[in-house]
Structure 1
């Protein structure tokens, strides 16, 4: 077990859960998979080493058999739909979106239908009918239209809002510093975010806590965070790492 001081607040919070006989539900999502890479191998090796299930958000338009062949024997892996091309259609001065209101709805839905069918065919055993919108953004008007295409859930970033037309299985801790170093965030900062999420759940919020990574852009700090997180939690009596399908209703 790692003895780094910045992880002590997490140990303390998990001890509180253990003392209360409770388990926190966590799940893991990694985005932007297209093809086999050394970085993906590194991520999957961590999944194997610690027996942590993962959801991989695959970009349908750009992927093919090579990735499916690489992942076919991977245990504890769920494949989800990451938009269609992961292309931005929003104006330059606004936040990036592929699934925003910037194109006719029927075109966007047709692409999401194609993406669903393609990944379901490539990953018959591992596919989960969940949409992961690129950049974690989607036009709210699309949400009621997803179930007829076969989707059962959407995963974006932040606390899930009740009363949505489709289940939300969100992520809450993004380990990357997108607006600063473009590498992994400092461990103490991420531990603080995770402890706050755990404290909210301890009070009664039952939403599973989602950890979000992007294997293709990890630096040493990011990889070290994932490894240490798994070391601290994989066999902890107060942590229940789950497959995302468990939360899709």
Structure 2
């Protein structure tokens, strides 16, 4: 799987890191978990096989004891808050948002408080006080209010903007082609994105690189990418796969 030519640019970049005696920091986030499924089992099996820590962004309103029981014995797993219902409240012609300015702030914040408390109770050992906004979008006015409920970080998409009122632990490589095939992106394309992120970090940005997946909608291309990525990186001297809790102070 990992001998494909598409992966050579990553091997070359990681060799550059190794030659410099440096290690790149990566973390893994998967969104939309609610209940045990065959797809979730497949994802967790990859985590186990390669000993790569994973963060699951769980939708609080619809989850419960079945998922908690399934995850309780899972090693190197973190549960975070994925909005409340993952419902879109934005007008049709605009980008989807659950945590936007389209409802009273007090209503949105109450949902985020409930989501935090519910997942912390369901997953006491694996819970991390981080909010993952659905669609990676959140009204900036909400950010200063989150710490009062216990949140210590937010995770969206793209390089983190400086001077935020709460820590940002973002993702940077989304393996899904949401606007095209709705399946996994071509491996060469994703390798290119990852290499660019690595080059950015080599040049001085210390932000951990986040990989973003959605287990419920993966096709064969997406599953193959995760397996190949772990094959290439899990035991590499220049790669440090970390638990998201390590980045929250």
TM range (shorter): over 0.9
Aligned to 2:51: 51
Query: Counterpart of 2:176 in 1: which secondary structure?
Result: coil
Aligned to 1:119: 119
Query: Counterpart of 1:224 in 2: which secondary structure?
Result: helix
Query: Counterpart of 2:29 in 1: which secondary structure?
Result: strand
Query: Counterpart of 2:49 in 1: which secondary structure?
Result: helix
Aligned to 1:98: 98
Aligned to 1:164: 164
In structure 1, C-alpha distance between the alignment counterparts of 2:240 and 2:67, rounded to whole Å: 28
Q: RMSD value over aligned CA atoms? A: 0.5
Aligned to 1:18: 18
What is the CA-CA distance between 1:218 and the residue it aligns to?
0.1
Aligned to 2:247: 247
Map 1:180-191 → 2, pairs under 5 A = 180-191=180-191
In structure 2, C-alpha distance between the alignment counterparts of 1:132 and 1:58, rounded to whole Å: 9
Map 1:189-208 → 2, pairs under 5 A = 189-208=189-208
In structure 1, C-alpha distance between the alignment counterparts of 2:128 and 2:210, rounded to whole Å: 16
Aligned to 1:85: 85
In structure 2, C-alpha distance between the alignment counterparts of 1:79 and 1:230, rounded to whole Å: 21
Instruction: Describe the superposition over 1:152-173 as per-residue Cα deviations: whole angstroms up to 9, x where unpaired.
Output: 0000000001100000000000
Unaligned 5+ segments in structure 1 are: none
Aligned to 1:138: 138
Runs of 4+ in 1 over 3 A off after TM superposition: none
In structure 2, C-alpha distance between the alignment counterparts of 1:208 and 1:104, rounded to whole Å: 34
Query: Counterpart of 1:146 in 2: which secondary structure?
Result: helix
Query: Counterpart of 1:8 in 2: which secondary structure?
Result: helix
Aligned to 1:76: 76
In structure 2, C-alpha distance between the alignment counterparts of 1:246 and 1:235, rounded to whole Å: 19
Aligned to 2:215: 215
Unaligned 5+ segments in structure 2 are: none
Map 1:216-235 → 2, pairs under 5 A = 216-235=216-235
Aligned to 2:35: 35
In structure 1, C-alpha distance between the alignment counterparts of 2:2 and 2:193, rounded to whole Å: 19
What is the CA-CA distance between 1:121 and the residue it aligns to?
0.2
In structure 2, C-alpha distance between the alignment counterparts of 1:215 and 1:38, rounded to whole Å: 10
Aligned to 2:5: 5
In structure 1, C-alpha distance between the alignment counterparts of 2:220 and 2:152, rounded to whole Å: 35
In structure 1, C-alpha distance between the alignment counterparts of 2:219 and 2:3, rounded to whole Å: 21
